[in-house]
Amino acid sequence: MWLLALITLVVQLLKPAYQQFPRQCVTREVLASKECCPIWEGDGSACGARSGRGVCQDVVVSEEPNGPQFPFEGIDDRERWPLVFYNRTCRCLQNYMGYNCGECSFGYFGPNCGERRETIRRNVFQLSTAEKQRFIAYLNLAKNTVSQDYVIATGTYSEMNNGTNPLFRNVSVYDLFVWMHYYVSRHALLGGTSNIWMGVDFGHWAPAFLPWHRVFLLRWEHEIRKLTGDFSFTIPYWDWRDAQGCEVCTDNLVGSQSRLNPNLISPSSVFSSWKVICSRAPEYSLRGVLCDGREEGPLLRNPGNHDRNLADGLPTSAEVDFTLSLSQYDTGPMDRTANMSFRNTLEGFGNPRTGLGNSPKLGMHAALHVFMNGSMSSVQGSANDPIFILHHAFVDSIYEQWLRRHQPESSHYPQANAPIGHNSEYYMAPFLPLYRNIDYFLSSKEMGYEYSYLQNPGQRFVDDVVSYLEEARVLWPWLLGAAVLGALCSTAMAVCLAKVSKSMWRCRSRRQGSEKQPLIISTDTEGSSSSYRTLRP
């Protein structure tokens, strides 16, 4: 597997970065028609209709009322997503997924998406050395490979003159997800400079926080599999309960601190060369513009040197246990003030000891972001740091524990009056293909993945054995090579010793018969120097 990863990495990095996005959905014509139903190359039809993969149909959005937190209508491109851009998209059937129904739904594999398989997300510290190296290599590959499927919007629909002037830009596979996390959480632009509304977030501060990030991780995992061809890949998690510091901040994982500047990553880590995007929210707000995806400086991190007025430190096991004990998914206004709300407490705005909302100090998920004191501490730019992936995978596992413990009915997720973007039937911005919030308010097993520490002990033992065998399989070529090399060296040494012994025997025989020549060392008449000659058999 390590060899496959290395070959894939080299091939991808040497590949020229052509503009390979299927631009059927960002041309003037498509934006004018508002129909995003690309052709699936497998059969040459829109949405793979000829093969029964999907159909092109009208997008129907929920008309349920939103909460009062966003007092505007018709000023933000994310409202009633995706209708500002498209009112017709592909609706995929059976086990198919994707903007053209050319891919398999989460948990399905194979050419016809007929193979159901459950993958296991594991603790990053339980990965073998080879698996850790593969994870880091895949991250770096994604950072340095232009996405073949997607571009990012660098302007609002209004700035695009209602689609007649498309404003899009190429982006790497990794930065595509950085931009999506920025875009879902960015401030609303009300027109002109310094004219924004900060009290809105389509993926945070409300019920969709957990479903949205679940899809975000699933899509990220899916794109890595497509990029590398490694469909066994799964996102690892960092179990940060009771951690005394940033345990993953080592050079064989996400990078230690630079000795020259504690805000930077050690030059021994590949992440020291990474450049961030979408990290200057105040600047965008001042100028009244969107992040355009350009590089904005190095990745920053200084764990533990954070503002103690914002958060005490990393979450504890007791805080996780209390959060899991809360039986209501969300409560009251379903925002940061919600009391005794599992979602609000896990997100970090509810006190993880009392459950009271609008806590003066951040806890749980938010506390770790603050603790990292750098790129992670900005909501909009936090996905620049690869710790984001490890962190949110563990947050998702806590969400999964809660779902299994309380087994809520779908009606427990709010259908109406949640902050904008968070009602159950709302499509998640800015995902294409489309995903509804309510569809991810169910167990991860329904989506084909599991967390290793949530498995029953017997199954966990089996998976550990498989992991050890995988490690042995990876090391076996090296061990075999070492054994073969050792055998060759031993044979060569034996041959040399045999030749030396034979030669010495001959020389001894000659010396016994005649003393005319020295055997090895010849000394000149003055004894001032020595010369050597090759031994001959």
Q: Tell me whether residue 151 is in a domain.
A: yes
Cα 49 to chain centroid distance, Å, stands at 32
Which residues are within 8 A (CB) of 382 and not within 5 positions of it... i.e. 6 or more apart? 181, 369, 375, 376, 388
H or E segment at 55? strand 54-58
Q: Is residue 332 part of a domain?
A: no
State residue 242's pLDDT score.
98
For residues 47 and 38, what is the distance between their CA atoms, to the nearest angstrom?
6
Q: Answer yes or no: is 434 within a domain.
A: yes
**pLDDT value, residue 456:** 87
**Rounded Cα gap, residues 198 and 308, in angstroms:** 24
How much is the pLDDT for 483? Answer: 46
Work out the end-to-end distance of the chain between its first and last CA atoms, rounded to an integer number of angstroms: 48
CA distance 316 to 363: 10
SS3 annotation, 62-122: CCCCCCCCCCCCCCCCCCCCCCCCCCEEEEECCCEECCCCCEECCCEECCCCCEECCEEEC
Counting other chains too, the contacts that 40-49 makes at CB distance below 8 Å and 24 or more residues apart are: 40/100, 40/101, 40/102, 41/102, 42/102, 46/90, 46/100, 47/90, 47/91, 47/92, 47/100, 47/101, 48/96, 48/100, 48/101, 48/102
Give pLDDT, residue 457. 82
337, 338, 343, 347 alpha-carbon torsion, rounded to 10°: 20
CATH of residue 108's domain is 1.10.1280.10
Distance CA 342, CA 35 (A): 39
Tell me if 118 is assigned to some domain. Answer: yes
Q: Cα 95 to chain center, whole Å?
A: 23
- 3-state SS string over 30-50? HHHHCEECCEECCCCEECCHH
In whole angstroms, what is the distance from residue 266 CA to residue 136 CA?
15
* Residue 43 in domain: yes
Tokens of residue 2, six digits: 């390590």
Contact between residue 102 and residue 41 where contact means Cβ atoms under 8 Å apart? yes
Q: What are phi and psi of 531, to 5 degrees?
A: -130, 150
Residue 186 lies in a domain: yes
pLDDT value of position 459: 61
In whole angstroms, give the CA distance from residue 310 to residue 305: 12
User: Up-side HSE of residue 217: CA atoms within 13 Å toward CB?
Assistant: 27
Crossing angle for the helix pair 209-228 and 387-406, nearest 10 degrees? 130
Divide the 537 residues of the chain into consecutive groups of 10 and give the mean pLDDT of each group.
43 36 76 95 97 98 97 97 96 96 97 97 98 98 95 94 93 96 96 93 98 98 97 98 97 97 98 98 93 97 97 97 98 98 98 98 98 97 98 98 98 98 97 96 98 84 53 47 50 50 47 34 31 29
Residue pair 249/299 in contact by the 8 Å Cβ criterion? no
Question: What pLDDT is stored for residue 15 in this prediction?
Answer: 38
Residues 6+ apart with CB under 8 A from 175: 143, 277, 293
* SS3 track for 500-514: HHHHHHHHHHHHHHC
Distance CA 428, CA 184 (A): 9
CA distances from 61 to 79, 215, 291, 429, 499 (A): 10, 19, 27, 12, 87
Based on the structure, what is the number of domains in the chain?
A: 1
CA 171/CA 149 separation, integer angstroms: 10
The answer to the question of residue 489 being in a domain is: no
Task: Tell me whether residue 323 is in a domain.
Answer: no
d(CA 372, CA 274): 17
The pLDDT value recorded for residue 143 is: 98
Count of beta carbons in the 10 Å neighbourhood of residue 130: 16
For residue 123, give its domain range: 28-305+373-468
As a whole number of angstroms, the distance between CA 429 and CA 151 comes to: 15
DSSP 8-state class, residue 165: S
Going through 443-508 in order, the beta strands assigned E by DSSP cover: 449-451
